[in-house]
Structure 1
Amino acid sequence: MKKILVASSALVAVAFAGQAQASEKISLSVGGYMEQWIGVADQDRGESRNAFQSDTEVHFSGSTTLDNGIEVGAKIELEGEGGNAGTMVDEQYLYVNGGFGQVKLGAEDGAAADMGITGPSVGPVGVNDGDLPNWVAINAFPDTVPAGGDSKRLTYYTPVMGGFRAGLSYADDDSSENSDTVTTGDNRVSGGLEFRHDFDGVSLGVSLVGEHMGEGEWYGLGATVGFGNFTVGGSVSETDGEFGQGQSATQVSDTTDFEIGVAYAMDAASVSLSYGYGENESTAAGSTDAATSGVDEINTVDLGLAYTLGAGVTWKSSIFWFDDKGQNAGNADDNDGYGAVTGLALSF
């Protein structure tokens, strides 16, 4: 891995060699998004919920192009909902683009998260990646790209060649002298390979991604096909229970996640229907006792609607259903129900 770091540093250094300082100073522009949701859910376990949810980020970004055509830029994403100074920054990184591809350095999701392709979904809830727990009590949820968060890392992407692109990321462990690293546990390596191409009105996207940390790893496959106003796609992933677990871990979980969806776009409106399945098999670390083991399983369906009201303003809604079967140390812990969520998504 050190050889990769040295090679990447040398690549960037050679690209900058001999530069005259005639490029313009970087000026940051402001962007981001705000999402505000209101919803109601009925569930068997616990009381029904009437809830509000929000997600807001402010983004600062800017770049400059050097005399040899190499682009150098930066991006900073700030969370818009409370938190202390240590949690206000979501992502912050610099990037270098050129004929050699792209190099990114800083705190961001990494190659596996950036390159993972999932099925289409236009509503605010969806079936993938953890939105459902905002509204109901569940033991597991589908997440086919469970990448390692905004750890400080070095990432390299190759140029696109014939529709193919590869990426590789490396994040240091938390024993680094950089005391504010986000990563916990051992060194984290993630990567991916993707293919995107249009064939006479039919667009195809395929990704193979994965990540290794500690004694385990996860890997996933995703694909989408677009034709006319339709987009169809899905993804599947497997996670080793040892992924990210330290020596003091009290529980390991092997997970299997799957989702599939179809979307139809018509002028300013689009609609999607998606199905997700997740299975989480947990065992107390070092134990073979069935009483300390359990399997959480969930099936969920989401009907989503999005309608563009104007530039940067979209009204979105979801109607969802779920059936969650959970076990904790052999005790049944099931829940099922349905709900509806609506609200506005603003981009700026």
Structure 2
Amino acid sequence: MGWLNIARLTAPLLLGGVFVHGLAPSARAAEALTLSLGGYIHQYFFVASQDNLVGEDINPSGMFGDTRLTFRGRTTLDNGIVVRAYVRVFAEANSQPNADEVYVEVASSLGRLRIGEKAGVNTSTIGDPAPQAFLTVYDEVVGDALISRTGVTLSDAFTFRRFTGNALGISYQAPEVFGVKLGVSYHPAVNRNEGPINNSTKANNAVDFTAGYEGYYPGGSYRLFAGYFHSNSSALENDGAQAWNISAGLTYGGWELAGAYMNADIDGQPRERAWTIGALYGIGPLQLSADFRTSKRSRYAGAASHERAGRATLQTAYKLGPGISVGLAGFYAKQKDSAGASWGGGGVLGGIKVGF
């Protein structure tokens, strides 16, 4: 099995054991578990013009949305340990798994331990890599409003959630010290899987490390985070991955500037590089933003030309009331597929977001 694999398998168990041991002496609930319900409804309508394949007749208008419900449970033990339960589900699941994120969190002076978390510490730390006034990290114009024509992705292209998706995992974040944050996540498999894992057929044992610093100055804040990801390939396919990313941001008054870069080396595929940058300005209930993101990879190993996708958006949002906002966005995207053909498209979208 090898000492490296043994270390990877036992590290999460040892970490959990040390963490739980640190909770001694034994504790009991000092207050009853409280449950809260939340969630959101996002609905968008768009009008777009885009290049068609021969025989295609893409309708110029369409809709997409995202509706999720969130259940939170929380109690504080008599020794100060905070235990939380978090469940987020798709209210409109279609054919995908209904549970979006489900984990139990134990937080104390020793740090934060999450069991069952899918996103991982890299994604939860970085969040939205570039600020957007109206769209969210779960929305991507290329795929939601424009047809994706390439094998590269702009959705989840800047954090390690891209590789683990709906896979169950365990994550630990150390206590913050003078603005320094450290965290690690482990996923036994990189796709949705419960129970025993056959390493011959599934990519396995994914580990990611994230470290960074967040500081403050008069009128604003700044942050810098970096992470590394590795998963093993299955015995039958080249489906493992190695990646690293970096994210930085700066705020001052109503302004925010942020960006991210990720270099992904997926076994059996050309290396993929993606970056994004965006700026946002908010004043009262109004927000304005502009952002650009792009991703590219060689059409095949050693090729001089690249398969790529890029898009730019201008967005505005207006807060009507607590948890309610309307918005408008203009977008344009350019794609180049593996055959060297170029695809363009753009349009406008509007919608409403309700959070509760």
Relative to the length of structure 1, the TM-score reads 0.86
Where do residues 243-254 of structure 1 align in structure 2 (5 Å cutoff)? 252-254=269-271
Q: CA deviation at 1:333?
A: 2.9
Question: Is 1:267 the equivalent of 2:287?
Answer: no
> SS state of the match for residue 121, structure 1?
coil
Q: Percentage identity across aligned positions?
A: 22
CA distance in 1, matches of 2:125, 2:190: 25
Q: CA deviation at 1:321?
A: 0.8
Question: Is 1:295 the equivalent of 2:306?
Answer: yes
Where do residues 55-94 of structure 1 align in structure 2 (5 Å cutoff)? 55-83=66-94, 87-94=97-104
The one-letter amino acid paired with 2:224 is V
Does the CA-based 8 Å contact 2:89-2:99 persist in structure 1?
A: yes
CA distance in 1, matches of 2:207, 2:336: 33
Question: Is 1:314 the equivalent of 2:328?
Answer: no
Q: How big is the alpha-carbon RMSD for the aligned residues of Structure 1 and Structure 2? A: 2.6
CA distance in 2, matches of 1:15, 1:296: 50
Does the CA-based 8 Å contact 1:254-1:282 persist in structure 2?
A: no
Aligned length: 328
Deviations 1:79-112 (A, max 9, x none): 111336x711111100000000100001421112
Deviations 1:108-164 (A, max 9, x none): 2111211236121123278x9744211112323432224222321111101111111
Q: CA deviation at 1:20?
A: 4.7
Does the CA-based 8 Å contact 2:276-2:292 persist in structure 1?
A: yes
Q: CA deviation at 1:311?
A: 0.7
Question: For residue 41 of structure 1, what is the aligned residue in structure 2?
Answer: 48
Question: For residue 332 of structure 1, what is the aligned residue in structure 2?
Answer: 340
Provide closer, same or farther for how the CA distance between residues 178 and 141 of structure 1 changes in structure 2, counting only shifts above 3 A.
closer
Provide closer, same or farther for how the CA distance between residues 125 and 178 of structure 1 changes in structure 2, counting only shifts above 3 A.
closer
Provide closer, same or farther for how the CA distance between residues 310 and 207 of structure 1 changes in structure 2, counting only shifts above 3 A.
same
Question: Is 1:144 the equivalent of 2:119?
Answer: no
Question: For residue 281 of structure 1, what is the aligned residue in structure 2?
Answer: 298
The one-letter amino acid paired with 1:94 is V
Q: Which has the higher strand share?
A: 1
CA distance in 2, matches of 1:233, 1:173: 31
Relative to the length of structure 2, the TM-score reads 0.84
Per mean C-alpha deviation after superposition, the further-off stretch among 184-193 and 97-106 is 184-193
Does the CA-based 8 Å contact 1:294-1:326 persist in structure 2?
A: no
CA distance in 2, matches of 1:115, 1:289: 34
Which runs of 5 or more residues in structure 2 are unaligned?
1-7, 233-239
Question: For residue 35 of structure 2, what is the aligned residue in structure 1?
Answer: 28
Does the CA-based 8 Å contact 1:106-1:153 persist in structure 2?
A: yes
Provide closer, same or farther for how the CA distance between residues 158 and 107 of structure 1 changes in structure 2, counting only shifts above 3 A.
closer
